[in-house]
Structure 1
């Protein structure tokens, strides 16, 4: 991981190939543009689609009213609101109710109820007093499994067995017999069933239900609660079929207990489901049974939905199945990050520009050759059009139809990297046909909205918009969904995002692209620890990033998804040039200025940032004069933009560089011209590196910035063009610097926008083997790293010159060893490009692997041991060779 504390680079690991990690959350990996919760019956909210939790939980509990509270509200003749009734039943203390009974209440709600409240509802108040007395004990006694692997923690000592069984049963039976109101009477019956269930007197619980609950011909909330307890007792008796059926009735008739009833049902096999379906007599029961089947088996929901449709096209639970199906599809069509499973990276020789290589290889159409007349027309169009009209400097020549039909135009079906992806199927066509059929049979506008959304996923934006325009509804949730989809269709259907359309975006949809004042993070909070849920704004930016990319506008595609500072993680020169060209563009549209260009402002001095990238690139190529010309412009560089935690501000802030610390431009030690004592990147410079004799070159300072370093290299190069020992030393020092700043060197971070040499992806020869090809956009740019491979022949060239000029055998030994080290780098590059993929299931895997390794060893010894061989044959007797053998085990092995 990059040295960027809690940076986008770290966060973006959440979205890429590492998404199978334990902390990855699949419910944060799509945009949820079709709001699942617009279903009318909110009691089914827990059964909406979710991967991170067993049940959907992205709603307020108050959205599912409790039928028990509703029953009490009606019982009190709607004298209280729902919230007041909930307070009275669930939260008010038993002391307040006893005070009411004695006529001296001080509770504001009971005072509001009036002095005659207890007289009118005495049986209800007496029941609530008894229920509140029992409630702390109403749980089953936990009995730990002695073989349990996990410790469940301390248990609540209060449970049903804490009460005297006979006294409690007698009291409840007496209260039952005394009560005159049937509903209150049934509530006492519920308490009898529950108490017996929780004391594990399962037979008595079943008897209590038949004796005290069932005879009262009421099927409201008290009956449902008692039935729930009866089913639990039947489960305790091993009567699984009866228990399943009664839990099923609770699931069907209750609003607030559906989730717990579903958990309590055990439909673990086909026989259990078939038994339930056989007992289902009404269409409603059969429909509900099919819903449970479809909920548990969700690889392809259409067959089950067809059965539900045949029973009742107006069924609310059919809409639940449909919205789950839409959500399943949406996860594949609208993930938060598109990546290509088969061609994310290509060999380095595939193309100079990864973005352009991607665009050219994935487009289904070839660039059309213009006729002479078309060229004339285009010439005059460009001549007389306004600057705004000719705004896309890098726009491709594809016409609108080709852009609309580009196979990489999102949304499109893709697969992510989760275990369940192998089960995913693209059933969009089937679901669209099904939805088309249902909307003809029902008046609920939901099905029209769903149909319009599926057509949006299919990229049939015209049909989607026509459906949306025709919908007449008063449902506020439906209206909001329709409005959002109209916006999506407008933006996604646009063939080319040009200046005029950018003006249209700012005029009509600016709020979707800007953070509103109340949405911005508090600078004193630690909200940066958490990844925000993907939003419509994020999706729209993805769409635009994709469109700009396909149009060839790389800079805008990059900047709408990334910060300018993100270029530090993979400073591809072509992309950098495009981004700089956008930065310097004189007449930006309002959208470019306010939405895209805002991502430029996080690197301090922008000119210096670009100059440093170019200067570093020139240094890697050994072009010291060009590097110096760029470093002159980089003197105001404020440091590689990194983040750090601030205890004082309690948040993440731009990192401040300590005095004397390397910041990407300044404070480079003269050890960069030295040589390795041993290879240890984690050791201090004094332990790993040793100085050369710089006395002949006073311009090499103990500490330099990159401008001074480039100047020193130019002077060394000039000195190296003469003859003698000084020239030999000058060339040797240049060779040292080039090697020390290569992927193998102790100072490998100097010219690749890094702060230290800590291991990471950019220092992996395997990564340098391949060049990233972006197929859809530049989103999550920091999460993939690529650096141009080092040209070790540059350092070898300078060493060779030093070797030919030197007459000192000790110096020649040192030079040869450095040349051999650089040659080793060439071998590592060859090896990284020569890997073979041998199927591990191949019975001859080990044999083939050994043969390949033997082949590599032969090539290494034949082609990449030139300078080790010369050192062994001609300089083995030098003191330097003996010293090197002591610190380099491989040289010691090779010499022997």
Structure 2
């Protein structure tokens, strides 16, 4: 039996995924956005920002790693409040957290009483002036700086620093003793007293004196009535020390208290709770109140990516007013979205989707949705939660997920949106927009007009969101730094690209669908756009490049010249200029190449600027990354290794050459067979299996050799259909047996291209099964090739057949004496 690789058309190993009808190469594409792996319209911060890091995601341990609040900012506020109104919070933060080592040295000398000039940036710093006026505060600051080298430890976990050498541990213990002495001396100043005690607890902990750490917390810090954030930091130290003393359940319980009380240490406390890994019931038994029990339930629930009724019901019974209830409800709704909305661009249609989109899973999701709707109704009717209207808006959205748009609209109508918090009001408007989209039909243009204000509102929300992040991070960096905060951008992207664009595709209004795909890009992506594809995400670019046929592109060209005479025209006003760009004319010309209208393609390419050129594919695996020039008119016996050209060939040149061949068929009919053969070679080599795919496609993956295509030009790109027609015509017009044998062999190659799989999972299943207990299925298919039969019966004695059989082992197997 011949090895699977020994074919005329060699299959390569690959991994690929689909977004609708768009194929991409995962190895070369962007990494999946961890905040957009399913289509979501219910914002995860509707209930507030306090627990956003624990929003639903099954791609990572946490939705985001940053704490809900800034510890430096909280500490700076406390210091500014203590020192008086003339001290600015950001002046505190600049000195305490923002000074480099050289500046820090100058600050310490200045505070120690040396006459040193301060840098201009600190000369008027109100915090330094406040410290100079408050001797206890200044002395504490200097002492804290003395401890700083020992406090800057490397952790295995946040409560578990790497061991220090004996000398360092002894010195840290002495510093802790000194801190307690200073705390005693500052007993009348609770602000300073607390901080000295905290430093003592910290040094005891880091030196391994865990009993002293716990004693310091219990004797010095726990009795205080001060609600300073330092209390929570000290409690975290006690929790870590308790764990090291062999009390893991109590340590986990203490971390659960930090989790609720200290938003600036919430993520740290959550991680530590789970790192300890103690039985849940043991921790729960230590709780002293319903609020504490609710916190412990929540911490466990936040680590559960599956549907979870028990946690949200338990927390609501224990602490119905807590924001934890709203956060957990939002998490459950987001989980439902991952099952009941269509998958996002990165994951829809991939082979793994078959395993996560089973009918049973969807039925389970719908059952859970009904339960969540009932829970939301209870939340709204009982009025115990701080914002019971969340239950109404949540239930409305769940009804929309279930396809009950009328019921969703009725629920929204029962709420006075003006009385909602800003975030819940925004979520209300998003659900309302989704309900209105559900009613949209292309035939009723009035619906488009009625929806325009809502879509413009959404545009303004995402623009404001983008501008805020630009101010915070800068133009080039904010997008990846603040990806988790781009909620309105993701809502708009999903609405335009996953709801509206597919709707217009179903209505066969592909030109509008194309504009909506475009519109779905973030304002950041198109703000500085210069051409058709500038700053587009790959789903939109692939949609334009793979789905738009010449008639649609001509319609878009008309809109670019004359404007869009439809109610939604204002949504696209800033974009239509790109429909006169080089990228657009290249796309239109390429679309005509795919339709074999070569004169029309030449006409489109004539609009290109002289300097326009697309990137040329290169062989990444060669030492010099060799350029892969097309060579479309060569006829090769083997498709692999590909035989590339030696010089550039533009699409315009290819179009002219193909049009010339078509003209010659009429002008020189005696040689028509050869012209048809060259035309067939031209379209064959522009297939995925050829050496010139870049002339009709903007991308290529090895998956194209295996999977059934879903583009309008897939018949050529995947299955060589037009090539087969022209090879057939070439054979019919010739009486030369050697030439006819060559045409027949090429027809056999074209027929082999019809062996395709609907999905990668089908391909892997067929390949794996063949390796185990049955022959290679492609070999079986090839042995039934009707053109192999013709070659054996009619052309076996030709010189060409001798050459072809030596090159193609499938053909050799077929004509062998013991073959079928």
- Cα 1:839–1:186, aligned 2, differ >3 Å: closer, same or farther? closer
In the alignment, structure 1 residue 617 sits paired with structure 2 residue 595: yes
Cα offset, 1:208, TM superposition: 3.6
| Matching residue of 2:727 | 795
In the alignment, structure 1 residue 29 sits paired with structure 2 residue 37: yes
| Matching residue of 1:589 | 565
- Cα 1:675–1:568, aligned 2, differ >3 Å: closer, same or farther? farther
SS of corresponding position for 1:195: helix
In the alignment, structure 1 residue 499 sits paired with structure 2 residue 438: no
In the alignment, structure 1 residue 194 sits paired with structure 2 residue 202: yes
- Cα 1:836–1:814, aligned 2, differ >3 Å: closer, same or farther? farther
| Matching residue of 1:820 | 745
- Cα 1:237–1:109, aligned 2, differ >3 Å: closer, same or farther? farther
Cα offset, 1:315, TM superposition: 1.4
| Matching residue of 1:290 | 297
Within 5 Å, give how 1:362-761 maps onto structure 2. Answer: 425-426=365-366, 427-442=368-383, 446-457=387-398, 458=400, 459=405, 460-469=407-416, 472-473=419-420, 475-496=421-442, 498-506=444-452, 509-510=455-456, 512=458, 534-542=489-497, 543-561=499-517, 569-570=545-546, 576-578=550-552, 580=554, 588-591=564-567, 593=569, 595=571, 598=575, 601=579, 604=582, 610=588, 613-614=591-592, 616-618=594-596, 627=597, 630=600, 633-634=603-604, 636=606, 638=608, 644=615, 672=633, 675-676=635-636, 679=639, 682-685=642-645, 706-707=655-656, 709-717=658-666, 719-720=668-669, 727=670, 729-742=671-684, 748=690, 753-754=695-696, 760=701
Equivalent residue in structure 2 for 1:872, among 767, 792, 796: 796
| Matching residue of 2:521 | none
SS of corresponding position for 1:741: helix
Distance in 2 (alpha carbons) for counterparts of 1:52 and 1:500: 42
Contact persistence 1:232–1:243 (CA under 8 A):
yes
- Cα 1:530–1:733, aligned 2, differ >3 Å: closer, same or farther? farther
Distance in 2 (alpha carbons) for counterparts of 1:421 and 1:54: 23
Distance in 1 (alpha carbons) for counterparts of 2:707 and 2:600: 30
Contact persistence 2:590–2:696 (CA under 8 A):
no
Contact persistence 1:628–1:710 (CA under 8 A):
yes
Distance in 1 (alpha carbons) for counterparts of 2:687 and 2:340: 45
Equivalent residue in structure 1 for 2:245, among 237, 244, 249: 237
Between stretches 109-118 and 293-302, larger displacement belongs to: 109-118
Distance in 2 (alpha carbons) for counterparts of 1:821 and 1:156: 72
Contact persistence 1:206–1:234 (CA under 8 A):
yes
| Matching residue of 1:57 | 64
Cα offset, 1:274, TM superposition: 0.7
Q: Deviations over 1:750-787 (max 9, x none)?
A: 7995279x96469536425xx569xxxxxxx99x9867
In the alignment, structure 1 residue 304 sits paired with structure 2 residue 311: yes
Q: Deviations over 1:495-544 (max 9, x none)?
A: 5564333344456644645996996999x987899797543432332332
SS of corresponding position for 2:327: helix
Between stretches 583-592 and 217-226, larger displacement belongs to: 583-592
- Cα 1:214–1:10, aligned 2, differ >3 Å: closer, same or farther? closer
Q: Deviations over 1:41-63 (max 9, x none)?
A: x4433333345553343989656
Cα offset, 1:27, TM superposition: 1.0
- Cα 1:717–1:179, aligned 2, differ >3 Å: closer, same or farther? same
Distance in 2 (alpha carbons) for counterparts of 1:317 and 1:794: 68
Between stretches 525-534 and 66-75, larger displacement belongs to: 525-534
Distance in 2 (alpha carbons) for counterparts of 1:852 and 1:481: 53
| Matching residue of 2:269 | 261
Stretches of structure 2 that go unaligned for 5 or more consecutive residues are 1-15, 519-531, 534-540, 617-627
- Cα 1:752–1:868, aligned 2, differ >3 Å: closer, same or farther? farther
- Cα 1:796–1:541, aligned 2, differ >3 Å: closer, same or farther? same
Distance in 2 (alpha carbons) for counterparts of 1:604 and 1:715: 31
Cα offset, 1:867, TM superposition: 2.1
Equivalent residue in structure 1 for 2:322, among 301, 311, 315: 315
Distance in 1 (alpha carbons) for counterparts of 2:346 and 2:31: 20
Distance in 1 (alpha carbons) for counterparts of 2:675 and 2:323: 79
Relative to the length of structure 1, the TM-score reads 0.66
Q: Deviations over 1:331-371 (max 9, x none)?
A: 44555747997999xxxxxxxxxxxxxxxxxxxxxxxxxxx
Distance in 2 (alpha carbons) for counterparts of 1:528 and 1:97: 35
SS of corresponding position for 2:416: helix
Distance in 1 (alpha carbons) for counterparts of 2:637 and 2:587: 34
- Cα 1:430–1:883, aligned 2, differ >3 Å: closer, same or farther? closer
Distance in 2 (alpha carbons) for counterparts of 1:260 and 1:733: 72
SS of corresponding position for 1:767: coil
Equivalent residue in structure 1 for 2:139, among 126, 136, 148: 126
Cα offset, 1:75, TM superposition: 3.5
| Matching residue of 1:373 | none
Q: Deviations over 1:476-510 (max 9, x none)?
A: 44444445554444444445564333344456644
Between stretches 309-318 and 492-501, larger displacement belongs to: 492-501
| Matching residue of 2:284 | 277
| Matching residue of 1:225 | 233
Distance in 2 (alpha carbons) for counterparts of 1:836 and 1:252: 46
RMSD of the TM alignment (CA)?
Answer: 5.5
SS of corresponding position for 1:35: coil
Between stretches 88-97 and 198-207, larger displacement belongs to: 88-97
Q: Deviations over 1:449-475 (max 9, x none)?
A: 4522431342234224314435514x4
Distance in 2 (alpha carbons) for counterparts of 1:105 and 1:437: 66
Cα offset, 1:736, TM superposition: 4.0
- Cα 1:416–1:29, aligned 2, differ >3 Å: closer, same or farther? farther
- Cα 1:95–1:883, aligned 2, differ >3 Å: closer, same or farther? closer
Contact persistence 1:609–1:637 (CA under 8 A):
no
Relative to the length of structure 2, the TM-score reads 0.72
Distance in 2 (alpha carbons) for counterparts of 1:708 and 1:336: 43
Contact persistence 2:17–2:349 (CA under 8 A):
no
